[in-house]
Amino acid sequence: MSISSNSLPNDIRRVAAEAGVSIATVSRVFNNPNRVSAKTRRRVLETAARLDYRPNLMGQNLRKGRAQAVGVVIPTPQGRFSDPFFLELLTGLGEGLAEAELDLLVTTCPPGPQELACYQRLVESKRVDALVIARTRRHDERIRYLLQRQTPFVAHGRSDQISQPYAYLDMDGRYGFYLACKHLLGLGHRRIAFIGVSSELNFAHYRLEGYQQALAEVGLIPDPGWILEGDLSEESGYRLTQTLLATTLPPTAILCANDLMALGALQALRELDFKAGQEVSVIGYDDIPLSQYTDPPLSTVHQPIRKMGQRLVEMLLARLNGVAVAELQEVWVPELVLRRSDGAPPV
Amino acid sequence: MSISSNSLPNDIRRVAAEAGVSIATVSRVFNNPNRVSAKTRRRVLETAARLDYRPNLMGQNLRKGRAQAVGVVIPTPQGRFSDPFFLELLTGLGEGLAEAELDLLVTTCPPGPQELACYQRLVESKRVDALVIARTRRHDERIRYLLQRQTPFVAHGRSDQISQPYAYLDMDGRYGFYLACKHLLGLGHRRIAFIGVSSELNFAHYRLEGYQQALAEVGLIPDPGWILEGDLSEESGYRLTQTLLATTLPPTAILCANDLMALGALQALRELDFKAGQEVSVIGYDDIPLSQYTDPPLSTVHQPIRKMGQRLVEMLLARLNGVAVAELQEVWVPELVLRRSDGAPPV
DNA sequence: GCACGTGATGTAAACGTTTTCCAAAAGCCT
DNA sequence: AGGCTTTTGGAAAACGTTTACATCACGTGC
């Protein structure tokens, strides 16, 4: 509010001078309030307020050897748009971090070899205290790197090929798609296709397994031509669905490894005049907010993304407070939410 | 790669020692390479590479008095999910910033009185060098504040009640909805409703004006009951559409101030068994990526969000390089993209 | 009355850089 | 060789904090 009389740098020195104390005292007022007498404390607080003083974060951080920030890098595929999943995750993270006085440093990076460099920059220039990593891969060099650097992090998703323990929060994707596939089988489907993505992505691997397991239990082995690999974009879901339906005996149901691809699938069905949910069933995965507004509303495997974001922050804070990683490994059980994009196969 | 022999702090001092020069020289190698002879430069670079040295950003920033980051705070409505708009904007921003070696500091904040405090913290603790502000309001305290603090920023959207010039990039929303409404009129619609949002939001104000202007040109004044205020959420679009259709002579077309509300509108129509695009037309605004996957695909006013993000960064950098704000004010012309959610009114 | 804890403050050394100023070295030209 | 400019490198002072340590005054118990 009040504009300071002269416009000297508004640093701790100025507050000290105006309050007639040393800068150490000012600092103590903020960091260790009961180490300074009530009288001077009050005086310092007053002048600080009057001058709109706020400690310079760079000074603080340099001295304290921290960054007061956690990083997250979101993969941004070139032309396509990013998965709404990340926005939800981000807001989940943001809410928790604000309370802990931490900021969120968001870097975007096209997936590929440059990605690791991105993490390295953040870590090695000490720009962040910790990281959240998402979309883990089976052989995840990011995790390997962070472990080796001993940089705290939590992962959204596991990484199977890493032996050393680390903190993660994952959904049981195998169970999720086991459930979904079981459900389709129960409805009478026998020709069920799977639109996935490179099994190098850890979650894709599990989701595929769930699908296969459910089929195996009823003695079915899927036609290899029905297990396709997309790239998580709605466009690839669209394209692959088209090819699936072009076959002589097309599947009556399609499991998509994420909602975005499921959206593409629905679109393809629509254009080919297939009634989704009646002639061909589609089930997605993620339950991104928009999946309830598609036509028909998408049946999918629900992931409480925002809540996961919040929990990830809790885990990260625990990690920063020295809680052992062994206690910071969680796998949540997803649930199937049925809307209108699934149904019995045509007779 | 190579693990340094002893594990002393990997700072500039160590590089200097191992290279047999002073720290000043090391620093110069990175900041002012041609002030040091080729021979020593090579030697320093070698040892730096060998030790995996990377300047500590906090040290750098403290010294240089900057933060090497720009902030953006995204409003996160409580229960609802955030507008996909922001994810697109974020990735647009991210791409440009990476090149300029700047990081993006994302803070989430529920809209309301705490919002300004959020900006203040970022600015006054010198955590960011500049800010991007989105969703400007007609009386925008954030802009006022940043102007007063002389903190560089660019706004996505104008703020009409601010007299002092500032950098902005906006779409001509009035024209956008003028176009849309004109189009509906051309199709024969006469009962056109508008689902907006508080005119305190600057863009809402303009979009409403465009709608009114188009109607006025053909001598129509809208039934006041057809101008409704939502809150930008799909849920409010859904609800308001229901009330619109519950009237005895419901509108044959609905203009929605953003795509999210339009999605809700489509959903409401579907549930009431109205054929969207045939019985009732719906036009949205933003062209968020998913609007082409709704049913029917949404006709909307296109905003090149990601591109705007990139341009905002360019403007910000220009601003930081001292370009006058007068040169950094742009209003882009939107275009109407017609998909399937509009059509002639029933006869 | 004296040594002694105790509580409140100040002093100064960090934290890891950049950059200003100097001094030394090295060219270059008569 | 002598004087000049130009390169090159080092010493040291910042940048704004925090914090270990020293200081000092003030009871307090003996």
Cα first-last separation, chain B: 74
Show residues of chain B in contact with A269, CB under 8 Å.
none
Residue B79: pLDDT band (50, 70, 90) is: low
Question: In B, which residues are within 8 Å of A55 by CB distance?
Answer: 125
Is A76's CB within 8 Å of B54's CB?
A: no
Q: Which residues of A touch B57 (CB under 8 A)?
A: 67, 125-127
CATH topology of domain B173-303: Rossmann fold (3.40.50)
Give A219→chain B minimum CA distance, Å. Answer: 36
Q: How far is the CA of A178 from the C1' of C30 (A)?
A: 93
> Over the stretch B97-135, which tens digit does the pLDDT of each residue have?
988 999 999 999 988 899 999 999 999 999 999 999 999
**Mean pLDDT computed over B20-32:** 96
Nearest to A266 by CA among A229, A231, A300: A300
Contact B108, A309 (CB under 8 A): no
| Token pair recorded at residue A311 | 């929990």
Confidence band of B2 (pLDDT split at 50, 70, 90): very low
The half-sphere exposure of B61 on its side-chain side, counting CA atoms within 13 A, is: 27
| pLDDT recorded at residue B293 | 84
B230-268: pLDDT as tens digits: 999 999 999 999 999 999 999 999 999 999 999 999 999
What strands lie across the sheet with B227-230, from one edge to the other? B227-230, B192-197, B253-256, B281-286, B299-302, B335-337
Q: What pLDDT shows up at residue B182? A: 98
Per-residue confidence (pLDDT) for residue A4, from 0 to 100: 37
Lowest mean pLDDT among A67-71, A81-85, B32-36, B319-323: A81-85
DSSP A204-255: HHHHHHHHHHHHHHTT----GGGEEEE-SSHHHHHHHHHHHHTSSS--SEEE
CA B240 – CA B226 distance, rounded (Å): 10
Contact B76, B108 (CB under 8 A): yes
Give protein residues whose Cβ lies within 7 A of nucleic acid chain C. A 20-25, 28, 34-37, 39-41, 59, 62-63, 65; B 9, 11-13, 23-24, 26-28, 30-32, 53-56, 58-60, 62-64
| A82 vs B: CB within 8 A | yes
**From the candidate CATH numbers 1.10.260.40, 3.40.50.720, 1.10.10.10, 3.40.50.10800, the one assigned to the domain spanning A12-55:** 1.10.260.40
Tell me, what's the pLDDT at B112?
87
Q: Are A106 and B95 inside 8 Å of each other by CB?
A: no
Q: How far apart are alpha carbons A324 and A165 in whole angstroms?
A: 10
Using alpha carbons, select from A5, A119, A256, A263 the residue that is nearest to residue B289: A263
What percentage of chain B reaches a pLDDT higher than 70?
97
Point out the residue among A62, A84, A294 whose CB comes nearest to the CB of B294.
Answer: A294
Q: What are phi and psi of A245, to 5 degrees?
A: -80, -10
| Residue recorded with tokens 């974060």 | A57
CB of B100 less than 8 A from some CB of A: no
Tell me which residue of A31, A60, A59, A26 sits closest to A45, measured CA to CA. Answer: A26
Render the burial of B165-183: b for 16+ CB within 10 Å, e for the rest: ebbbbbbbbbbbbbbbbbb
Q: Does B3 touch chain A (CB under 8 A)?
A: no
**Which chain B residues are closer than 8 Å to A94 by Cβ?**
74, 76, 106-108
SS3 of A80-117:
CCCCHHHHHHHHHHHHHHHHCCCEEEEEEECCCCHHHH
So what's the pLDDT on residue A290? 83
Tokens of B343: 């059509």
* Chain B interface, best mutation among A87, A303, A340, by max B CB count within 10 A: A87
Mean pLDDT, range B329-340, rounded to an integer: 97
Contacts of A86 (CB under 8 A, 6+ apart): A74, A134, B87
- For A106, the closest of B67, B95, B106 (CB atoms) is B106
Whether A105 sits inside 8 A of B109 (CB atoms) is no
- Residues B110, B73: Cα–Cα separation, whole Å: 10
Interface of A with B in 218-277 (CB under 8 A): 234, 263-264, 266-267, 270
Helix H, strand E, coil C: the string for B231-251 is: CCCHHHHHHHHHHHHCCCCCC
Cα(A61)–Cα(B54) distance, rounded to whole angstroms? 17
* B294-305 mean pLDDT: 93
In this complex, do B57 and A289 lie within 8 Å of one another by their Cβ atoms? Answer: no
Residue B211 has pLDDT above 70, yes or no: yes
Burial A101-119 (b: 16+ CB within 10 A, else e): ebbbbbbbbeeeeebeebb
pLDDT score at A79: 66
Task: Name the residue facing A289 among B58, B81, B295 (closest C-beta).
Answer: B81
Is any Cβ of chain B less than 8 angstroms from the Cβ of A96?
no
Are residues A56 and B62, on separate chains, in Cβ contact within 8 Å?
yes
Q: Mean pLDDT, to the nearest integer, of B295-322? A: 95
Nearest residue on chain A to B120, alpha-carbon basis: A54
Q: Give me the pLDDT at residue B110, please.
A: 87
Asked if the domains B12-55 and B173-303 are classified in one and the same CATH topology, the answer is no
Question: Which pLDDT tens digits describe chain A residue by residue (347 residues)?
Answer: 333 344 567 789 999 999 999 999 999 999 999 999 999 999 999 999 999 999 999 999 999 999 999 999 998 887 677 888 999 999 999 988 988 999 999 999 988 899 999 999 999 999 999 999 999 999 999 999 999 999 999 999 999 999 999 999 999 999 999 999 999 999 999 999 999 999 999 999 999 999 999 999 999 998 899 999 999 999 999 999 999 999 999 999 999 999 999 999 999 999 999 999 999 999 999 999 889 888 889 999 999 999 999 999 999 999 999 999 999 999 999 999 999 999 999 98
Tens of pLDDT, residue by residue over B47-56, are 999 999 999 9
Q: Where residue B222 falls among pLDDT bands split at 50, 70, 90?
A: confident
Which residue's entry shows tokens 């129960």?
A186
What pTM did the predictor assign?
Answer: 0.92
How many C-beta atoms lie closer than 10 Å to residue B44's C-beta? 25
Nearest to B294 among A104, A121, A295 (CB): A295
CA nearest to B148, candidates A2, A149, A184: A2
Q: What is the DSSP string of A49-75?
A: HHTT----HHHHHHHHT--SEEEEEEE
Q: Which pLDDT does position A8 carry in this prediction? A: 62
Determine whether B31 is exposed, middle or buried from the number of CB atoms within 10 Å of its CB (0-12, 13-18, 19+). Answer: exposed
pLDDT value at residue B4:
37
User: Is any atom of strand D within 7 angstroms of residue A59's beta carbon?
Assistant: yes
Would you say the C-beta of A221 is within 7 Å of strand D?
A: no
**Tokens standing for A5?**
């009389």
Candidates B2, B118, B274, B290: best to mutate against A (most CBs of A within 10 A) is: B290
Domain segments of chain A as ranges: 12-55, 173-303
C23 C1' to B30 CA distance, Å:
23
Q: CB neighbours of B187 closer than 8 A, spacing ≥ 6?
A: B281, B342, B343, B344, B345
Report which of residues B28 and B294 the model is more confident about: B28
Q: What backbone phi and psi angles, to 5 degrees, belong to A255?
A: -95, 125
